[in-house]
Amino acid sequence: MAVEGETAVKIASTFSWQDVCMTVQKGKKQEKQILSNISGSLSSGKVCALMGPSGAGKTSLLNVLAARIRTRGTTEVTGNITLDGQPITGSSLRKRIAYVMQQDILVPTQTVRESLWFSANLRLPKSYSMKDKKELVEKMLVDLGLVKCADTFIGDDMIRGVSGGEKKRTCVGIELIMKPKLIFLDEPTSGLDSYAAHNVILKLEELASKEGCNVLCTIHQPSSEVFHLFNKVMLLRSGKLFFFGGVSGLSEQLHSVNRGCPNEFNLADHVMFLLQTELEKELDSMQAKMIMETPEKAATPDVPHDKSVMTKSMEGATAGFLTQLMALTKREAQNIWRDKPGLIASIIIPVILNVFFAAIFYQVGDITLDNYDPRSHFGGMTQVAIGGMFGAAQPLLLKFPLDRGIFLREYATSTYGSAAYFLSKTMVELPQSFLNAVITWTAAYFLMGLRGQFMIYVLVFWVTGVAAASTAVLVGCLAANAEVATQAAPAVFVPQLLFAGFFITTEQIPAWLRWASYLCALKYGMNLNILNEFGPDATSSWPDVYTLNPATGIKDVPLKATVNAEFVVRNSIDPDHVWVYVGVLLAIIVVVRMLSIMALARRAAAFF
Ligand SMILES: Nc1ncnc2c1ncn2[C@@H]1O[C@H](COP(=O)(O)OP(=O)(O)OP(=O)(O)O)[C@@H](O)[C@H]1O
């Protein structure tokens, strides 16, 4: 299927690498040589297997050739790596390189078609119309044999989804949609049975020859059928090139050094066994002979299988910020909507918990009751605020660490920027937290018999929850992983409880520590709640109820004056500063979320 607007460009690209070396610094003076003088070349339409015993340097070489090694610090890489004579550096060349990781990092609630569409929509240049993109996705589904499962969820442990082989082919499709010139795959067949593995490599081979791209993949134990699909094989041993050439060439070479593969044996198994069982001395002498055979072949560019392969230039701007934001928001919302158990739990659990807690504080706000106690009244409000803070923070704390794999893969392939990614999560979070605020206060307000304005409680709870979630998000973006985020969370949230006026009033906190309460979002939320329930405006309409005067022993102090002094004055809350409290809460949200975007971008930049 020809995509409208394609430019007729014959692909005949050559990928070559000369004298690639990699060393890592171990301690102050020691160096470890990971790769030594590895050379070779591949040309359009060829699929090369990178093999060798464990620790031979396969992943290191793959990462070096794909420009995925950070050469700062202790790692040094030398050598020449070029694509059509150009060194592999710079973002435009990077975009022509696809890297399929060993783990299938996909969104479980997306279907196969949606996964490919997401990649096409955000990564293809704007010169591609929607129709072009859709045609490309459909073509990719056909080429990769994914039509039958196109509308099946990717799935995970909880959601029934596509098979392992189909997942792997989806990962390949996500990268191939960009029509990359180079495709690197780390163990694309690991965890697959031999038929599924054959299918993946066969599709890769077909696509490589059709699209004219160079494919290099590490592979552990290919079956004979799989092994013979490769056009080239590169064998490493202790960081050195043992063999590079065609599969039949390998067989000939082994015969020439008297280590031919018996007819009934698998050539790949045979050579791997040899590499791990032969004496070092023997291997050295074989290696010396075999390498002598390869450079000439490796240096000669191969002729593309299909000389009429067409492609369209991938240069030019890709999707803009708004398109990225919309696509990401849609995916995030779908993710929540399709995760039915999670969605139901996010509604049912707050209802049950809040009804239960409110039942404990039943009618604590009824000031006309004989057993009325202002501390219980305040306690009821306190528990809603504390529950709200943890309830809002908890789901957000692990959101970014748990989704980091997908973010890094997509960010690294320039699918979107960190700001669009971050804002998309916020767009979905806001209505969810508003719904949570309505649920919480509907349960709490009437059962506890509070007197402030219902809608103010909902709004304050919502904004304070978003502020708590912002802090959780920042912790999640800064933390190295989910475990670190979980460990760090109490250090951030417990002090908020201490500074919010629940256990100690602001005026009792030592002056040199009091400043910390000004950074505490919960404190501002609580100030607004206290004014809504106990502030002078709120209490002005209270019926006349009197409390005990300690000086006279007579109940002649108006209750409104008692609660005002106890909760408003002692917590240094100024009724004229309502909008200051609202403003500071909003400012905390904006500043903390901006810091989170920066932390996310920094983490993504450090990925390579
Ligand atoms: N940054 C590093 N610092 C120290 N040693 C390293 C580093 N990177 C790789 N190595 C070492 O280099 C050798 C090659 O590692 P590499 O992961 O490339 O091997 P591999 O062939 O892919 O192994 P496997 O098949 O087990 O994944 C190993 O001994 C590994 O411990």
DSSP string, 49-76: EEE-STTSSHHHHHHHHTT----STTEE
255 lines ligand 1 (CB under 6 A): no
- Same domain membership, residue 52 and residue 16: yes
CA of 602 to the centre of ligand 1 (A): 26
Testing ligand 1's pocket by substitution, the residue of 21, 31, 50, 59 carrying the most ligand atoms inside 8 A of its CB is 59
- Same domain membership, residue 555 and residue 430: yes
24 lines ligand 1 (CB under 6 A): yes
pLDDT for res 296: 39
Testing ligand 1's pocket by substitution, the residue of 25, 34, 54, 216 carrying the most ligand atoms inside 8 A of its CB is 34
List Cβ<8 Å contacts ≥24 apart for 462-465. 462/433, 462/434, 462/437, 463/525, 463/582, 463/585, 463/586, 463/589, 464/385, 464/388, 464/389, 464/392, 464/521, 464/522, 464/524, 464/525, 464/585, 465/388, 465/389, 465/391, 465/392, 465/433, 465/436, 465/437
Domain end residue (candidates: 254, 275, 306):
306
Q: Which DSSP state fits 111?
A: B
- Same domain membership, residue 542 and residue 477: yes
35 lines ligand 1 (CB under 6 A): no
Q: Is 182 helix (H, G, I), strand (E, B) or coil?
A: strand
Residue nearest to atom 2 of ligand 1 (CA): 24
Give CA–CA dist 415/424, Å, rounded: 14
CA of 66 to the centre of ligand 1 (A): 16
| Ligand 1 atom nearest 74 alpha carbon | 1
Q: Is 216 helix (H, G, I), strand (E, B) or coil?
A: strand
317 domain-assigned: no
| Phi, psi angle pair for 81, to nearest 5° | -125, 120
313 domain-assigned: no
314 domain-assigned: no
pLDDT in tens, 267-276: 989 989 988 8
- Same domain membership, residue 195 and residue 163: no
Work out the burial of residue 1: count CB atoms within 10 Å of its CB; fewer than 13 is exposed, 13-18 middle, 19 or more buried. exposed
- Same domain membership, residue 502 and residue 362: yes
pLDDT for res 301: 41
| Ligand 1 atom nearest 239 alpha carbon | 14
238 lines ligand 1 (CB under 6 A): no
Domain end residue (candidates: 277, 306, 335):
306
- How many Cβ atoms are within 10 Å of 386's Cβ, its own excluded? 17
| Ligand 1 atom nearest 220 alpha carbon | 25
- Same domain membership, residue 529 and residue 554: yes
- Same domain membership, residue 340 and residue 284: no
Per the structure, the complete domain to which residue 564 belongs is given by: 322-605
Enter the tokens of residue 447.
Answer: 């059962």
C-alpha closest to that of 521 among 564, 563, 472: 472
pLDDT for res 287: 78
pLDDT for res 448: 95
Give the CA distances from residue 325 to residues 132, 421, 592, in Å, rounded to whole numbers and listed in that order.
Answer: 21, 7, 20
Enter the tokens of residue 228.
Answer: 């013979």
pTM: 0.81
CA of 65 to the centre of ligand 1 (A): 15
Exposure letters 325-334 (e unless 16+ CB within 10 A, then b): bebbbebbeb
Residue nearest to atom 18 of ligand 1 (CA): 57
- Same domain membership, residue 21 and residue 47: yes
Give CA–CA dist 365/451, Å, rounded: 7
345 contacts: CB under 8 Å, gap ≥ 6: none
CA of 511 to the centre of ligand 1 (A): 55
571 domain-assigned: yes
pLDDT for res 12: 60
Strand partners, 23: 33, 76
Torsional sign, CA 449, 451, 456, 461: negative
49 domain-assigned: yes
600 lines ligand 1 (CB under 6 A): no
Residue with tokens 């909902």: 458
| Ligand 1 atom nearest 62 alpha carbon | 18
CA of 58 to the centre of ligand 1 (A): 8
CA of 22 to the centre of ligand 1 (A): 11
pLDDT for res 430: 94
CA of 219 to the centre of ligand 1 (A): 15
Residue with tokens 């196109």: 150
55 lines ligand 1 (CB under 6 A): yes
Domain end residue (candidates: 179, 205, 238):
179
Testing ligand 1's pocket by substitution, the residue of 60, 62, 102 carrying the most ligand atoms inside 8 A of its CB is 60
| Ligand 1 atom nearest 218 alpha carbon | 22
C-alpha closest to that of 178 among 111, 93, 80: 93
pLDDT for res 159: 82
Give CA–CA dist 48/53, Å, rounded: 17
266 contacts: CB under 8 Å, gap ≥ 6: 223, 224, 227
C-alpha closest to that of 275 among 266, 264, 286: 286
Helix/strand/coil (H/E/C) assignment for every residue in 318-381: CCCHHHHHHHHHHHHHHHHHHCHHHHHHHHHHHHHHHHHHHHHCCCCCCCCCCCCCHHHHHHHH
CA of 21 to the centre of ligand 1 (A): 13
Give the CA distances from residue 109 to residues 170, 396, 399, 413, in Å, rounded to whole numbers and listed in that order.
Answer: 14, 19, 15, 21
Work out the burial of residue 225: count CB atoms within 10 Å of its CB; fewer than 13 is exposed, 13-18 middle, 19 or more buried. middle
CA of 56 to the centre of ligand 1 (A): 7
CA of 50 to the centre of ligand 1 (A): 14
212 lines ligand 1 (CB under 6 A): no
pLDDT for res 311: 44
Give CA–CA dist 382/178, Å, rounded: 54
Domain total for the chain? Answer: 3
Residue numbers in the chain where pLDDT is lower than 70 = 1-12, 28, 70-73, 89-95, 291-316, 607-608
- Same domain membership, residue 172 and residue 185: no
Work out the burial of residue 20: count CB atoms within 10 Å of its CB; fewer than 13 is exposed, 13-18 middle, 19 or more buried. buried
32 lines ligand 1 (CB under 6 A): yes
Q: 398, 487 in Cβ contact below 8 A?
A: no
| Ligand 1 atom nearest 52 alpha carbon | 21
Torsional sign, CA 384, 390, 393, 396: negative
pLDDT in tens, 289-348: 775 544 434 334 443 333 333 344 556 678 889 999 999 999 999 999 998 888 899 899
312 domain-assigned: no
**C-alpha radius of gyration, the chain, whole number:** 32
Residue nearest to atom 25 of ligand 1 (CA): 54
Give CA–CA dist 73/532, Å, rounded: 56
155 lines ligand 1 (CB under 6 A): no
431 lines ligand 1 (CB under 6 A): no
476 lines ligand 1 (CB under 6 A): no
> Looking at this protein, which amino acid is placed at residue 307?
K
- Same domain membership, residue 340 and residue 478: yes
Which H/E stretch holds residue 26?
Answer: strand 14-26
Q: Quote the Cα angle for 301-294-10, to 5°.
A: 10
Work out the burial of residue 27: count CB atoms within 10 Å of its CB; fewer than 13 is exposed, 13-18 middle, 19 or more buried. exposed
Q: Which DSSP state fits 127?
A: T
pLDDT for res 502: 81
- Same domain membership, residue 601 and residue 488: yes
C-alpha closest to that of 156 among 94, 86, 83, 104: 104
222 lines ligand 1 (CB under 6 A): no
Which H/E stretch holds residue 178?
Answer: none
Q: Which DSSP state fits 228?
A: T
Residue nearest to atom 13 of ligand 1 (CA): 55
60 lines ligand 1 (CB under 6 A): yes
38 lines ligand 1 (CB under 6 A): no
- Same domain membership, residue 517 and residue 436: yes
331 domain-assigned: yes
For the chain, count helices (H), then strands (E): 23, 12
Could you give the count of Cα atoms lying within 13 Å of 258 in the half-sphere of its Cβ?
Answer: 4
Residue nearest to atom 16 of ligand 1 (CA): 57
57 lines ligand 1 (CB under 6 A): yes
CA of 55 to the centre of ligand 1 (A): 5
Residue nearest to atom 1 of ligand 1 (CA): 24
pLDDT for res 385: 92
Testing ligand 1's pocket by substitution, the residue of 23, 35, 38, 58 carrying the most ligand atoms inside 8 A of its CB is 58
Give CA–CA dist 138/508, Å, rounded: 68
pLDDT for res 570: 85
315 domain-assigned: no
Output the domain CATH number for residue 195.
3.40.50.300
Give the CA distances from residue 311 to residues 8, 37, 302, in Å, rounded to whole numbers and listed in that order.
Answer: 6, 34, 19
